[in-house]
Structure formats: structure tokens, C-alpha cells
Chain A
């Protein structure tokens, strides 16, 4: 569906786009360029002594086993967050799509968590699951589970995945609901008349017709898990215990701002940027054409 607008003057379209371009240049291209430059430099925190080191910062990263562990960890986290959040949101959307009394209320309630800022999400979950403050943690201990995410890396990772997935459910739910409502009823009715049971109707009709939405959400969720989980990790575990919750974006922060190692931090930012550009590219190539908003 191409929309075409005809402008009489040549300059008007550029003038209209200019403010947006200015913002993108100022808040994206300029800092991105700074990062690329910084990643070729070795510099102390105060910027007093600077030396140009070519790809030294990148090479140091690739020599560091911890960096590859962080990459693997980030992929695992992203996958776990995306899958758990998507499947749960789809289940809820299918439920909310039924003609129920008060369905508007359910829908509104399900959208709310999206409005909560990531650090706040972290704090909320900490209040429930912190080993010495948490309400749920007490019950877990009472039934004999040795719950201590301060020391147990797997438990800490579970905690982060849970909190991050919970926050993203609302967003996914919205898109799934819209997707479900755009599925033509006649097709579903035809399937019903042919004797297909609800489960079968879902897997053979609804699911395939939803696939563009699912794919789009998968990309969005992976990008979310890559970047927006920073606030959650910072408030909940600060990358610990050990390194079990240190993702790539958290590593950029801790190396750069806590460690004052700006060169390495910038190099990591550039690598992250490339990853996201690739992901976005995939989305535009394969998804944008099939998804109708």
C-alpha cells in the first residue's frame, strides 16, 4: 500500500523533514560517530592523555573470553525473554479475544504494566523476591527451596528473565490482540463448519495468519531484551552474582562508567550498534512488507 503525496515546490518536503533530521543527526548520528572515534582511542577517564590505537580495543575484546560469555549470555537472555513473553502474551490475547463480558476491562488491565519504567519493574520484583526482604522469598524458604539469588547465578538469571518478560507482555498482548481481530471471521467459521476443533482451528488458521505479527514482535522483543533490560539488571543484580547476569549492554555501562575504560566501552557500543542495524535490516527486508498496522 503506497501513499503518494504531490508537492508543488521542491524545497517544501525537505523543510518538513528538516526538524526530524536535525534531531536524528544530533541525538543519534553525532553520538554514534563519537563512539566510533572513541573506540579507536586509548584515553584516561579525564581525557587528559589520548593515544590512537587503531583496532587495539576491539582486539582486546576478542581476546577476552568473558566477552564471548557475555555475547552468549545476552543471546540466551534475549531468547528466553522473547519466547516466554511472546507465548504468554499470545495465550492472554487469545483469551481476551473471546466475546466476554467486561473484556474491555481485562484488556485495559493487561496493558498497564507497559507503562512501568524498567528500574521500577526491577524494584517491584526485588521486593517480592529479595532473599531477606522478599515476600515470595519467605514462602519459598518456608517450603524448603534454598532461594538465594545473591549467590546462585541461575536463580538470579531466572529473576531477570521473569521481570523483563513480565514487562514486555503488555506490548506483545496489544499487537497480538490487534492481529487476532484482523483475522477474517469467515475463514474461522468455514473451518468450524468443516468440523475443526478450537485447538486445530488455532494452529491451522489463526497461527499462520498471525505469523507476520509474531515475527515482527520477535525482532522487537530481541531488541528490547538487548537494550531496555539495562534498568532492570542495574536495580536487581548489577550483573552479579559472579557475572551471571552481565549482558552486553550492562558491560558497556560498567566498563565505561564504572571502570573508566572508555575505549573498550565505545568499541562494545559500536559492536552492539552493528548487531541492531543487522536486526533492523532483517526486519525491514522480511517483515515490513507483510505486516499491516
Chain B
């Protein structure tokens, strides 16, 4: 039963809190995260490097399960009075964390109070904008950022004599040819159905997903993604689903094996998919920018980020915050950012690190690693492409996915599905607005 989980989580948080009492002269900084495999190694190395670089503080990283689990563990721990110092929260948890005034310590305040040197201008605005107020005050520290790109199986495209598509109509044509050439279960597909086909699509074409700059300027935002562009795009997907030129691959990234196995030769998903592609794909591949509709005015605009940022939890003593501030400064170092970028495939967050990677010729033989950065910095962000900040985003995405699935299954038209998704989503946003701390 769900009730018991709270008890368990709270009890667990208690035990963690009890074992984490500083027994030595060093002050411990708890860091809860959701990184596995190679990315977990990166986290451990960063913590170790920091711990050996000075002797006052010790960063202790703890893996807490997937993104949603980590966030729930942090919330349960906070309720039990044992929150960690630093918590990794995925981008869709941003509004929930922001609304929790008092539960979190905004990064810009933390740096000022701890007397750390901190210049928000050294970071890439396309990345920090997502986690800052409209005044440009940084609330959380971007850690692992990615964007949506189109992964392409070069061998299969060559075999079918298809050029790499740039626009959506070209992509549909390419997928039809690939299907005719033997990919009869899947011409193209993608993960994270709402991120790719609603959130990124809207930003990339400079149309609003929601009012109030997609929620960045206030919790009284209303969803607006049932406009002509998004409806037309979903209609195209519904039409192609009938013949499997497009084949739906689920709400999360569980379908990504369909690209690496060679089943789907074109696949839209996160740029952070790189590690798995490199390890598993037995063919030549690349990643190119997302397609766009050429008739849309000003497209392509710029993409928005995915991934996660580090939130500093509230209510800790000042000397511990000093350690957290030092650690964030340590993470902002240029060489360290280049290391994170190369080791994990996530994007560097400072301009200096991006320039350095470029100067080192890092993108020469791996141009696809620069693709998400080129998308993010394609144009100066607008109201529609700075980022998103919608409450209960995890569940909102589930609701949107449900409706998109209904359309793809032929139970509703694209317009009906998106209208319903907007309406149901707005109800949830009003509920969130009621509970958000003013």
C-alpha cells in the first residue's frame, strides 16, 4: 500500500540521517543522485577529487534510484527533517522544487551568503535559463544537461539510398523509403513521446506550450499546445502509425534498443543516449538536429534542455553551506566541465568549457556530440523556448502521453486528444497552484 511507502521512506531517511552525523573534524555534505553505470563513476570521481583537494569538507554521494525515486526520497527525508544537502532533480521536477520556498536554498543566495565568487555570466544561458528566475537569479545548479536529437543509422540510409532528412516532410519520406527497403516494423520512432513531440516541437518552432513563457513567469500558467502546428504534427504521426512508417515506442526510453538493434533506422531521443549507442550499435551512426516544418515562421528556433540539476536543500547550518558552495565552484571549473562532458556525453555548462572542447578538436571526429549544443544555441531564446516550468510535470507528462496514445490507437482524433490533454493538464495545474507556497 502507498501509505506504507511513506513510512518506509521516512524510516529509511531517519537511519540515513543518523549514520551521517559528522564524527570527524570534516563536515560531511550529503549528495543524493540518480546516476547509474558510467555516469555513477563520474559522480564518484568528482566527489573523490573534491575530497582530496581540501580537508574541511567531505562530499558523500548516494544513489537513490531513478529520477522520480530520488526526488521522492528527498521529499520524504525533508518531511522527516533529514534532507540531504544536495539533491539531483530532473528538469521536470523544477517547478515542484521552486514552489517549495523554505525547503530549498536558491543557488545565487547560497553563493552570496557563503562569500563564494559566483558569476552567472560564465554559464551557457540556454542551459542556466531553465533553472533561473525571470530576473536571471540561478535557483539550481545545472549538472547533467542534454537535448533532443535525431539519431540516424547511416548504413541503413545508404543502403536504401536516402539522404539524411532535415525537415519533417523529408523525414516522413525517408521513413517511407526505409520501410519499403525492409524496415517494415519501424521507419522511424522516438522516446519520451511528450518531450519530443510536444515540448521540444513547440520550442523548436517558437510556438507556446503554455502561457506565461511556458510557466517560467508564474504558476498561473495555462497549457496552449493544442495549436495548429502541434495538432498537424500529431495527425502526421497518427497517419504513419497505421502503416508502421512511424511506430510508437513508449512513454519513456524503454524503446531505445530498437535503434541500437537496427530495427528503427531513425530515432529521436536524448543526446545522452550517446553512451549506449557507442557501446551497442554495430553500424555507423550520427546525430543531427531535430527536423522542423519549413512553412513554420522562424523555425528552427532553439531547443530546450533535458537532464537534471542540483538543488540545495534548506535549513542547514551556515558552515555546511560553505562546503556546498565550495563544491559548486569546484564543479564549475573549466577542466572539470570538459571531463564531465567527455566522460558522460552530457553538455558542458560553461562557455569556457565548450570553447575548450572545441579548441581541442573534440568535435572533429565526433560532430554528433556538438549537435545538442548547436541546437540549444541556434538562436537567442524567446518566451516560447527558454524552458518549461509546470507543476506536477511528471504526472502531466503521463496525462499527455495517455491522450497521445489514444490518438495513435485511433480512439480519438489528434485535435480531440490534444484538447483533452490541455484540459486535463490545466485542472492539474490549478490544483498545483492551490498548494504552491506563495
Contact = CB atoms under 8 A, between A and B. Distances in A.
Interface stretch (B22-30, B32-40, B279-287, B403-411): B403-411
A133 B249 CA distance: 12
B96 interface: yes
Contacts of A27: 4, 7
A47 B99 CA distance: 12
Contacts of A239: 398
Contacts of A255: 395
Interface in B254-312: 255, 257-258, 263
B205 interface: no
A4 interface: no
Contact of A240 (B103, B185, B402): B402
B5 A257 contact: yes
B248 interface: yes
A278 B250 CA distance: 38
Interface string A10-21: 000000000000
Contacts of B431: 261
Contacts of A148: 248
A260 interface: yes
A160 to B, nearest CB: 16
Contact of B2 (A43, A44, A48, A256): A256
A248 B66 CA distance: 24
Interface stretch (A31-39, A100-108, A194-202): A31-39
B409 to A, nearest CB: 5
B79 interface: yes
Nearest to B75: A45
A265 to B, nearest CB: 6
A153 B100 CA distance: 37
Contacts of B250: 150
B3 A260 contact: no
Nearest to A238: B251
A32 B2 CA distance: 11
A87 interface: no
Nearest to A64: B427
A243 interface: yes
B436 interface: yes
A211 to B, nearest CB: 31
Nearest to A152: B409
A258 B393 CA distance: 9
B68 interface: yes
A253 interface: yes
B263 A132 contact: yes
Contacts of B251: 238, 240
Contact of B435 (A42, A242, A269): A42
A216 interface: no
B116 to A, nearest CB: 26
A269 B1 contact: yes
Contacts of B3: 31-32, 34-35, 266, 269
B245 to A, nearest CB: 15
A42 B430 CA distance: 13
A44 B1 contact: no
A253 B405 CA distance: 21
Nearest to A256: B2
Interface of A: 27, 31-32, 34-35, 42-49, 132-133, 141, 148, 150-153, 227, 238-243, 249, 252-261, 265-266, 269, 272
6 contacts: A31-B1, A46-B79, A47-B79, A242-B405, A255-B395, A260-B392
